[in-house]
Structure 1
Amino acid sequence: MTLSIEQLVDKIPNGAKIAVPADYAGIAMEATRALIRRNAHDLHIVGVPTSGLQSELLIGAGCVSVFESSALTLGEYNPPPRFSKAVKDGSIRLVDATCPAIHAALQASQKGAPFMPLRGIIGSDILQHHPDWKVINNPFNQDEDPVVIIPAIQPDVALFHAPMADKDGNVWVGRRRELVNMAQASKTALVTVEKIVETNLLEDEKIAAGTLPALYVGGISVCKNGSWPLGFWQGAKEDTAHLSDYRERAKTDEGFKSYLQEFVFRGEDK
């Protein structure tokens, strides 16, 4: 059974740790706007491995207490004004990481392991800011052979947008394997989709390999063009005029408030 967008985001409690993909992988923007309308708060966002407009809006609206990722970027529309302001005034806690570290930590949770080894960040300054990342010696080598172990990240929810789901709750993600990683690492996945199909996606040999089984999915909402104004790899291109408008408005508190009023609250008195 599909849910309304309000019912879907009601499954995300305040204080939840939410894994969200990079802007190119399928962003549940309609769910993001619904979270802001619900006045969600104290969210811990994990950008996999980066995040963009989705986290920028949630941070600007006061929904986020912790942002954990390797970057928050608006691409050609940088710098992200609300994120920059929140970091400067200390209204969010920033947990800096690297792309491989984020993926490794989720893979550990996906496999039910407490940590995942990673070698490439040895010698970088980021280790100084991560007392939870430990440098140990490779236990299979008698000589000095350091390796970093990254603790598992288990989000409460993986939230993303996908092209389609079937009536049984299976979701097609195509080649976006990071979405599978996110979903299997998390306690559940909540997904917005362009459409529902009547056939079982897992029974079609051509698309079964790119299908996330319903076992990992806790809720689905049909949201046509649900990634707008961002582009979608199985849909519309990004709305460049809208993103340019956002960048200019969000430079000031009043401009950001007017943006939320028009495009999130849709004229309601908030």
Structure 2
Amino acid sequence: MPAEYSDLSISDFASAIPDGAKLAIPADYAGVSMAATRALIRRKAKNLHLVGVPTSGLQAELLIGAGCVATLESSALTLGEYGPAPRFTKAVREGSIHLIDATCPAIHAGLQASQKGIPFMPLRGILGSDVLKHHPGWKVIQNPFSESEDPIVAIPAIQPDIALFHAPLADRDGNVWLGRKRELVNMSHASKTAFVTVDAICETSLFETEEMAAGVLPTLYVGEIYHAPNGSWPLPFWNGAKVDDAHMQEYMKMAASDAGFNEYLERYVYGESAMA
């Protein structure tokens, strides 16, 4: 059912994401719902299948460290200039998560196939690469329109259950403004529904003006909305918020050990200030 904005709690929002769900999540620069991430950890979500579109960072790192993730499908998990993601690195070494290695074009191609309702999308650029050798789900086929040998890779459709992200604005009809962030639109179209946290709620329809309407994700694609001002913290947000550099450096120090990571969760996830 299309969403209409309601004053549900962040706990209710996270509880509507079932254990075992396949979640499409954006890269750190594109609008990550860290408010929902912390709520998922608090409710002890299990067996999530994360699809990083096309990469992920702190969001997947925290969910993996908290034991919420069974599978990560992405072209990378990176914390950028802060260094290797410590909880992700530990999980890979221990084999506690299933890792589906991909490339950025392959992730986008799989989502495009889902958008179009077709079983696969052809892609050329990864022919001959090592990632292709180790990805049995991708099939090299003959171009059916060529009379000469012309291999092409068939990337299976990726249909997430939920696209989960943060946006600047929604209206009370459940429409969400995404501006120029087309990757968020594509994630939502490919998924069964979208769950969105937003900085603000608009009292008038986002379709009222041509300038706003061009960047709107219609309520048809949206399942839940939660009003979470600064809901991407500590990550940057393309609508204005900067990365909390001091917090990220603190995280890297604390997450280097199991005890330190657990202390981080107690302070910044389970702590009273993180419950909003």
Same fold (TM over 0.5): yes
Aligned to 2:57: 52
Aligned to 2:187: 182
User: Take 2:161 and 2:46, find their aligned partners in 1: how far apart are those partners?
Assistant: 15
1:87 aligns with 2:102: no
Q: Cα deviations across residues 79-103 of structure 1 (Å, max 9, x unaligned)?
A: 1000000000000000000000000
Between 1:28-37 and 1:132-141, the stretch displaced more is 132-141
Q: Cα deviations across residues 22-49 of structure 1 (Å, max 9, x unaligned)?
A: 0000000010000000000100000000
- Please state how far the C-alpha of 1:203 moved relative to its aligned partner: 2.7
User: Take 2:139 and 2:243, find their aligned partners in 1: how far apart are those partners?
Assistant: 40
User: Take 1:125 and 1:90, find their aligned partners in 2: how far apart are those partners?
Assistant: 21
- Choose from 28, 31, 34 the match for 1:26: 31
- Please state how far the C-alpha of 1:256 moved relative to its aligned partner: 0.2
User: Take 1:204 and 1:21, find their aligned partners in 2: how far apart are those partners?
Assistant: 27
User: Take 1:132 and 1:255, find their aligned partners in 2: how far apart are those partners?
Assistant: 38
SS at match of 1:201: coil
Between 1:85-94 and 1:227-236, the stretch displaced more is 227-236
1:249 aligns with 2:241: no
SS at match of 1:202: coil
Q: Cα deviations across residues 227-247 of structure 1 (Å, max 9, x unaligned)?
A: 000011113211000000000
Is the 1:5–1:221 contact (alpha carbons within 8 Å) kept by the matching residues of 2? yes
Aligned to 1:168: 173
AA paired with 1:62? Answer: G
SS at match of 1:139: coil
User: Take 1:89 and 1:37, find their aligned partners in 2: how far apart are those partners?
Assistant: 24
User: Take 1:201 and 1:177, find their aligned partners in 2: how far apart are those partners?
Assistant: 17
User: Take 1:48 and 1:244, find their aligned partners in 2: how far apart are those partners?
Assistant: 24
AA paired with 1:241? Answer: A
- Choose from 208, 218, 221 the match for 1:216: 221
Is the 1:225–1:235 contact (alpha carbons within 8 Å) kept by the matching residues of 2? no
SS at match of 2:214: helix
1:8 aligns with 2:32: no
Q: Cα deviations across residues 51-89 of structure 1 (Å, max 9, x unaligned)?
A: 000000000000000000000000111110000000000
SS at match of 1:203: coil
User: Take 1:51 and 1:79, find their aligned partners in 2: how far apart are those partners?
Assistant: 12
Aligned to 2:203: 198
Aligned to 1:237: 242
Distance 1:210 1:267, change over 3 A: closer
1:151 aligns with 2:156: yes
Unaligned runs of 5+ in 2: none
Number of aligned residue pairs: give it.
Answer: 268
Q: Superposition RMSD on alpha carbons, in Å? A: 1.0
SS at match of 2:71: strand
- Choose from 107, 116, 138 the match for 1:111: 116
SS at match of 1:82: helix
User: Take 1:214 and 1:224, find their aligned partners in 2: how far apart are those partners?
Assistant: 20
User: Take 1:226 and 1:153, find their aligned partners in 2: how far apart are those partners?
Assistant: 27
User: Take 2:193 and 2:178, find their aligned partners in 1: how far apart are those partners?
Assistant: 16
Unaligned runs of 5+ in 1: none
Is the 1:201–1:208 contact (alpha carbons within 8 Å) kept by the matching residues of 2? yes
AA paired with 2:215? Answer: G
After TM superposition, the score normalised by the length of structure 1 is: 0.98
Percent of aligned pairs with the same amino acid:
68
User: Take 1:143 and 1:238, find their aligned partners in 2: how far apart are those partners?
Assistant: 52
- Please state how far the C-alpha of 1:267 moved relative to its aligned partner: 6.2
Q: Cα deviations across residues 120-176 of structure 1 (Å, max 9, x unaligned)?
A: 000001111111111111111111111100000000000000000011100001111
- Choose from 184, 206, 231 the match for 1:226: 231
- Choose from 31, 38, 42 the match for 2:43: 38
